[in-house]
Amino acid sequence: MVMGVSGNCLVLIVKAKCKGQFCCRYWLPFVSLTMSDLGCSLLIISSSLFAILTGGQMSPWCEVVSLLKFTFITSSIGSIAVLCVQRLIGRASTGSALFVVMVIACSASWMTGVVFGSVPVVFTWIRYDPAEMLCAVFWESSYSDMLIYILCVFAICIFLPLLLICFCSLLRFTRFCSNDNRDDEADLSAVTPLLVSSYMLCYTPFAVSELILLGRLDLSAGPSWLRTLSSVMSYLDCAVNPLIYCSHQDFREAVLGLFGIKRKHPSEPVLTAVTTHEL
């Protein structure tokens, strides 16, 4: 929680105060992803910690936490998908017309999360799960309702952005290999492959636990250790992303400069010796 809050707040401060010290052409998805990670760190992880200390969560905060968690998950993968699209299109995606489309896409990922996160709240499918350490969706009556809901969530909120990420990454890799048309590696978007890999790794336990639920006709949840792992890994993703940004040299130097730490650049070569050769 401390890493997520401090790291993502630092990212926003660096973006606002040191924007001239590093290149970030595609700032929209980065800001959206950072806001999602910061919201998860401030609201979800802290609520999970409080639930552990008090032995549960009370309504209506229980339902709010469940809704927000799903919103942050969906907005995160949506922001990464928009970033991949912008990297594929290039500088043209920052123009007025296409930029409006990117804003709509980022906003749609947030709204989609709110809509699908509200469905379990409306149908009172939410209760506290000690294994996940927060309120989650539980199914007690209808397998068909659970099947339809999870399939819709995976198809719209997870599969479509994931398909877009894979498609854009493949096209960009093909263009990189064939035409040697490389984006400027000085741009912060160079960390996109690391962001994609981190998201896939951290949310794999969550996806596996949901798939296990689909295969159980008795509506029993997955193993408790897997549900705990899914929560811990999703929390980890919020704290890891700022570290991924700092893997970029220019961004890292901007962070150091914010704290008054100036990195010494190598000086010009100095003549230290002369060697003579006899002909």
Q: CATH number of the domain that 37 lies in?
A: 1.20.1070.10
In this predicted structure, what is the pLDDT of residue 265?
Answer: 52
The mean pLDDT of the chain is 85
Q: Contact at 8 Å (CB) between 18 and 257?
A: yes
Domain with 62 in it = 2-258
Let me know if residue 274 belongs to a domain. no
Our count of domains for the chain comes to: 1
Let me know if residue 264 belongs to a domain. no
In this predicted structure, what is the pLDDT of residue 270?
Answer: 56
- The per-residue pLDDT for range 249-267, each reduced to its tens digit, is 888 888 888 887 766 555 5
Q: Which residues are bridge partners to 23 per DSSP?
A: 187
Let me know if residue 142 belongs to a domain. yes
CA distances from 249 to 93, 187, 252 (A): 24, 10, 5
- The per-residue pLDDT for range 18-29, each reduced to its tens digit, is 877 888 888 899
Q: Contact at 8 Å (CB) between 70 and 135?
A: no
In this predicted structure, what is the pLDDT of residue 185?
Answer: 66
DSSP states of 119-139 as a string? HHHHTT-EEEETTTTEEEE--
Let me know if residue 272 belongs to a domain. no
Let me know if residue 116 belongs to a domain. yes
Low-confidence ranges of the chain (pLDDT < 70): 140, 175-185, 262-274, 277, 279
Let me know if residue 70 belongs to a domain. yes
Let me know if residue 110 belongs to a domain. yes
Let me know if residue 267 belongs to a domain. no
